[in-house]
Structure 1
Amino acid sequence: MQGRITIYSTSGCPHCKAAKAKLVDLKLEYVDVNLDDNPDFRSKMIEITGKRTVPQIFFNNIHVGGNDDFQKLTEEELNKLTNEVKTNPVPTDAPPIPQSSNSKSGTNASASLQSEIDENANLIQDFNNSGIIKDQRQMLTVYRNVFSGSDFVSFIMENKKTDRKQAAEMAANLYRLHFLSNVHAGDAFNDDSTLYRLLQDEPSNALNANVSVDVKPLPASELAVLLRKQILKLYGEFLSSDGKCVDYDGIKESDLFKEFVNLTGQLQRVNLDNMSREEKLAFFINIYNALVIHGNVEVGFPSSTWQRYKFFNCVSYRIGGLNYSLQDIENGILRSNRKGVGMLTKPFSKSDARLKVALDKHEPLIHFALVCGAKSCPPIKTYSSDGIMDQLKCSAESFLETEDGCELDTKKKIVKLSKILDWYKVDFGENTGKVVEWVCECLPKCEKKDQLTKMIGDKNYKVQYMPYDWGANKKPKSGL
């Protein structure tokens, strides 16, 4: 082949995988520019295509478009494009590619899974085997697997051969590092009768609660990115060639998933103190999106309203010593403790320790970065604190420029919006008109933006919210 087929893609994108599968079936070689691995190429792709979704496919310098455009090509059109790259060399105005590109996407996250053993883990293990931890009754309540602060300090004095003051300082440091927690909650460690419990003994249904943590946890932002890349790699490997379903059972049995689960254990002791707004946004968006897939693997894909309610309220990770469900992350943290769909109260009470982690002000753009079932994917799947607002805006633009997010019927004067904009209307404006104005402002420069601007100016339009497709993408078992 004299020329080049170029495809801009992201890891775990079903539409990208379907396009690549068709190229393979056609026995056509291609260069895959993975935007997760080459983030500098996102803006280049947008500049030359005017599109913010992936995949974007080129035959030499001829822009085919996305997966839907590619799949709809007639035999005659496809033959013409194939002939173009087989007979003509790559033109100078062909889309740019990295110096080292190939047709394999994804990031080898496994290479980064090695972490330093935490020297404190041995002390905690010795304490766990000391016989000091017992069940204790206070009033009418029995507390399982607990110990007093004073007993813990005494153990450290004996184990480390130090005085009580130094032992108490060591105990307080272990408390800050989330090796233990206060049974009744509290911000500081006390060398008295206050009851504590080791992290591994804390009652929890979190998906990472029973994972041992004997390594020093990575910095929060770095850990979240690594987890997200790892789960996207898994998702991509077990995604069907047509991009329509995922073999979650296969994921669960894979060694790569076991590595991922072990990595989630580090979240239990990760430090969330002093994180900036940008760091919180990137961290919790990445964790939310990884947790959704982890939940699908371990719990199953929710197929009814009641199952969805349980899924989003019960599927959780233990992060920094506290439990965070999907509902807690979205509505408690990222929406600055606002009621979610169907919620009667706010996620966090005034005394909830997680409230201090929540954003000071809600961020409406998060709704286009959290996992959704759109027919096209944004060119960003993993978020970083550096440039997070530009990344979120790009994801919002990519969603709203498709028919999944916003569709206009200019003849009937109807603005059709995603149900997401109805469910979380309060985040976008005080009324429907303000929501439409927010959408118009967020849209990139395109014909749709011009049309919507005119409709708003004429003040002659109706708004409809499109049904949300909750359909599962789980691969059916053989024989069913």
Structure 2
Amino acid sequence: MTRSTIPVVAIGLIGSMLVELTALTTPDPKISTAPLNSSMLSVPVDHSAYDRLLKKYVNERGLVNYKGFKRDEKELQKYLDLISKNPPTDKWSKNEQMAYWINAYNAYTIQLVLKHYPIASIKDIGSKIQIPFVTTPWASKFFKIGDEEMSLDNIEHSILRKKFNEPRIHFALVCAARSCPRLRTEAYTADKLIAQLDDQGSDFLNNPAKNAITPQKASLSKYFDWYKGDWKENNKSVDYWVNQYSKTKINKDTPISYLDYNWALNEQ
């Protein structure tokens, strides 16, 4: 799935050496970060239908039963129709808006996988030659929010990252890969959002498959490399965010490397 605002990324198009940052993009100037339609209902979306689906088809490890989800695809579509027709307005709180966009990203990612299922990886979707920000699954505008055609990249980079200045979204957005943070067995909601993001951070940093941390060395998720600008916002640092959640602490002198990203499907 990542993601300064956007770090400067050199896109190599020479031969087959495509950069492995397919979840990154720059904000799309065509996508407004303001409320999409202030005439829409001011009442925030009820995420309970999505919550029920997550409890039914996601396990405690964050792995998805896509076969089961496929059988309930119509129920997922009903929720996405609700999302599509009721974008956030200026009457919503910051947490209500953030919960909406995080749920939208994760739910539309599930829908994208289901449309092409069975697949071994989300990267199997679309063009065989995937140009970051252009022909990847995340760049595909396959849904509408209000009257605007949008992509997963638009939600992540042009709205969540650009508008909210909240690095912890990287612990919550799930791009259907094994190296992603776990998909929660519940929807994000405004009243629990901060606790949910903190829980995601703790789970992610203390999972040795995603971040292997010792006092002598930190082998971190590529997220901390891809989005290093985000982690440094507000005079913070990568080691600051690691130490917020990791049981094993590091310091400025701790050698940091980055783990290979496992793009295999996050399937049960």
**Is the TM value for this pair above 0.5?**
yes
User: 2: distance between equivalents of 1:231 and 1:404?
Assistant: 26
User: 1: distance between equivalents of 2:205 and 2:62?
Assistant: 22
Q: 2:189 aligns with which of 384, 387, 392?
A: 384
1:282–1:247 distance in 2 versus 1, CA, 3 Å? closer
Matched, 1:428 2:231: yes
Match of 1:402 in 2: 207
Match of 2:113 in 1: 296
User: 1: distance between equivalents of 2:192 and 2:42?
Assistant: 21
Q: CA deviation at 1:231?
A: 3.8
Q: 1:461 aligns with which of 250, 254, 266?
A: 254
Q: 2:45 aligns with which of 194, 209, 221?
A: 221
User: 1: distance between equivalents of 2:55 and 2:131?
Assistant: 27
User: 1: distance between equivalents of 2:129 and 2:142?
Assistant: 18
User: 2: distance between equivalents of 1:235 and 1:436?
Assistant: 35
TM superposition score normalised by structure 2:
0.67
User: 2: distance between equivalents of 1:234 and 1:315?
Assistant: 28
1:218–1:299 distance in 2 versus 1, CA, 3 Å? farther
Correspondence list, 1:197-212, <5 A: none
What amino acid maps onto 2:261 in structure 1? Y
Q: CA deviation at 1:387?
A: 3.4
Q: Secondary structure at the match of 1:318?
A: strand
1:407–1:333 distance in 2 versus 1, CA, 3 Å? same
Q: CA deviation at 1:370?
A: 1.1
What amino acid maps onto 1:260 in structure 2? L
Correspondence list, 1:48-63, <5 A: none
CA contact (8 A) 2:62 2:184 kept: no
Correspondence list, 1:130-169, <5 A: none
Matched, 1:414 2:217: yes
Q: Which has the higher strand share?
A: 1
Q: Secondary structure at the match of 2:203?
A: helix
Q: 1:232 aligns with which of 54, 63, 67?
A: 54
Q: Secondary structure at the match of 1:416?
A: strand
Structure of greater Rg = 1
Match of 2:14 in 1: none
Q: CA deviation at 1:467?
A: 0.7
Match of 2:102 in 1: 285
- Tell me how many residue pairs correspond in the alignment: 217
Correspondence list, 1:117-128, <5 A: none
1:261–1:230 distance in 2 versus 1, CA, 3 Å? farther
User: 2: distance between equivalents of 1:407 and 1:311?
Assistant: 29
Q: CA deviation at 1:425?
A: 0.8
Q: CA deviation at 1:404?
A: 3.4
CA contact (8 A) 2:219 2:259 kept: yes
Match of 1:367 in 2: 170
Q: CA deviation at 1:269?
A: 2.5
Matched, 1:325 2:146: no
1:243–1:460 distance in 2 versus 1, CA, 3 Å? closer
1:260–1:376 distance in 2 versus 1, CA, 3 Å? closer
CA contact (8 A) 1:335 1:363 kept: yes
Q: Secondary structure at the match of 1:293?
A: helix
CA contact (8 A) 2:63 2:183 kept: no
1:394–1:290 distance in 2 versus 1, CA, 3 Å? same
Q: 1:471 aligns with which of 248, 252, 264?
A: 264
1:292–1:244 distance in 2 versus 1, CA, 3 Å? closer
Q: Which runs of 4+ in 1 moved over 6 A?
A: 242-245
User: 2: distance between equivalents of 1:383 and 1:362?
Assistant: 18
Q: CA deviation at 1:380?
A: 6.0
Match of 1:74 in 2: none
What amino acid maps onto 1:443 in structure 2? Y
CA contact (8 A) 1:378 1:395 kept: no
CA contact (8 A) 2:105 2:173 kept: yes
User: 2: distance between equivalents of 1:230 and 1:421?
Assistant: 32
TM superposition score normalised by structure 1:
0.40
1:434–1:264 distance in 2 versus 1, CA, 3 Å? closer
Q: Which is bigger in relative contact order (C-alpha 8 A, separation at least 6)?
A: 2
User: 2: distance between equivalents of 1:474 and 1:380?
Assistant: 14
Unaligned runs of 5+ in 1: 1-174, 179-216, 337-358, 476-480
CA contact (8 A) 2:80 2:107 kept: no
1:243–1:283 distance in 2 versus 1, CA, 3 Å? closer
